[in-house]
Amino acid sequence: AQRLASGSFGDVLLHTIGSVYEGKAAEYFGEGTFAPLSTRLAKLRAHGHAAASAYKLAQAGVKTYTVFKAIEKSQKEQEKEKEREREKGEAKNPVDTQAHLALEVERTGAMALMLESAWRVSVLDIESTLSHVCDKVLQDSGDAGGRQRRAEGLKSLGAIFCSHGMPDAELDFSAQLKAAMHSVETGLAARAARTE
């Protein structure tokens, strides 16, 4: 678990997997004298979580679309301004550094939003796949004792994963993007140094 947590998005991935495992174990076991009600509440909680994940994905998609439209608008405005300067004969400095810097900041924000959208799609896929797999594992035609042990294993493994993980609400996509870009730049620099 610790090795997986140290990778890119690993801690959040661990928490996501652990949450699915714990939720499926809770659905299987139920708790206390009101076990049937507890099982239904666990299922309801899982459906609510899936709806929240879908909402977060939609929200990230809308944000990404909005930012890309703003970037497109900024680029068109810069092109129009350059064209007006050329027509007036004032095009001495073809690159307005402040406008260029603002556009780069917008692009970096857009890349972070794209990363968030990709992550949200991945989370939905991971949760859905694990949910189906857990259902198969806990509802097979084998003996009840085997299913009971598998459910206990899922519960324990889910607790371990969640304890080593981090909820995605704490995820900073800009920081993840910067770390990934730094890693790529370091790798490219190392490759360039080897070829020289």
Closest listed residue to residue 162, CA positions, set 43, 8, 3, 5: 5
Percent of the chain, pLDDT > 90? 9
194 CB burial (10 A radius; 0-12, 13-18, 19+): exposed
Picking from 165, 163, 68, 152, the residue whose alpha carbon sits closest to that of residue 126 is: 165
**Which tokens hold the place of 157?**
């493994």
pLDDT digits (tens, 9 = 90+) for 59-106: 878 888 887 787 788 778 878 887 887 778 765 555 555 666 566 666
pTM of the predicted structure, to 2 decimals:
0.61
Compute the distance between CA of residue 124 and CA of residue 164 in angstroms, rounded to an integer: 21
Could you give the 3-state DSSP secondary structure of residue 71? helix
What pLDDT score does 134 carry? 92
Q: For residue 35, what pLDDT is reported?
A: 60
- Following DSSP, what letter does each residue of 104-172 receive, concatenated? HHHHHHHHHHHHHHHHHHHHHHHHHHHHHHHHHHHSSSS-HHHHHHHHHHHHHHHHHHHHHS--GGG--
Rounded Cα distance, 40 and 36, in Å: 6
Give the model confidence (pLDDT) of 170-195 as tens digits: 666 667 666 766 676 777 778 778 87
Token pair recorded at residue 146:
């085997």
